[in-house]
């Protein structure tokens, strides 16, 4: 399954890609520089995915799903915890004892978050949101991932309108830093 389709299909593809990245991390040798590269790519994907959800998915959940505010707030809180862990992981080398612990904590949090979205939130959204809007949201998510930050910014706004205003600027700076450092290649 490739990228495209409605918001649920798009985000589900992202989830499977993240699963594959965790599997790659599992097979890389402890202390190997490849683990740092894999952790950077994982971080980039998770941050872009979270920003896109916060900009487009959760506002739709708030509007169309019963008790959507509570659901969206819980998912955003999950993102905050993962982002704090990713920020800590960002400064660690693969040989650092905390590196593996942080990767395991990120995986545990992400796995629970994905399960909750796929088993609860996505079905609720699918039954309450017009299909044309789901398609439109899929396109918006794809576009926002192109300009989203690639590094964790735990203190950045996570709700519209500020997140939609500030994220592209932070994304530009992150991608510039990535290009200069070779991160994520």
What local confidence, expressed as pLDDT, does residue 43 receive? 98
What local confidence, expressed as pLDDT, does residue 60 receive? 97
What local confidence, expressed as pLDDT, does residue 45 receive? 98
Query: Domain segments of the chain: what residues?
Result: 7-181
Lowest mean pLDDT among 4-13, 26-35, 78-87: 26-35
pLDDT at 1 over 60: no
Arithmetic mean of pLDDT over the chain: 95
This prediction's pTM: 0.95
Higher pLDDT, 167 or 148: 148
CATH code, 7-181: 1.20.120
The string of pLDDT tens digits covering residues 112-144 is: 999 999 999 999 999 999 999 999 999 999 999
**How far is it, in rounded angstroms, from Cα 123 to Cα 56?**
17
């Amino acid at each position: 399954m490739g990228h495209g389709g409605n918001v649920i299909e798009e985000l589900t593809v992202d989830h499977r890609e993240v699963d594959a990245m965790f599997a790659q991390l599992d097979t890389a040798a402890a202390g190997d520089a490849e683990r740092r590269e894999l952790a950077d790519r994982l971080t980039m994907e998770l941050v872009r995915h979270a920003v896109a959800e916060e900009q487009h998915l959760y506002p739709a959940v708030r509007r169309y799903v019963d008790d959507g505010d509570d659901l969206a707030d819980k998912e955003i809180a999950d993102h905050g915890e993962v982002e704090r862990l990713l920020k800590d992981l960002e400064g660690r080398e693969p040989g650092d004892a905390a590196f593996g612990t942080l990767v395991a904590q990120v995986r545990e949090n992400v796995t629970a978050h994905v399960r909750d979205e796929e088993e609860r939130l996505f079905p609720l959204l699918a039954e309450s949101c017009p299909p044309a809007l789901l398609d439109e949201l899929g396109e918006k998510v794809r576009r926002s991932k192109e300009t989203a930050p690639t590094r964790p910014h735990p203190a950045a706004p996570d709700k519209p309108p500020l997140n939609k205003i500030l994220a592209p600027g932070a994304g530009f700076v992150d991608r510039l830093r990535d290009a200069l450092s070779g991160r994520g290649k």
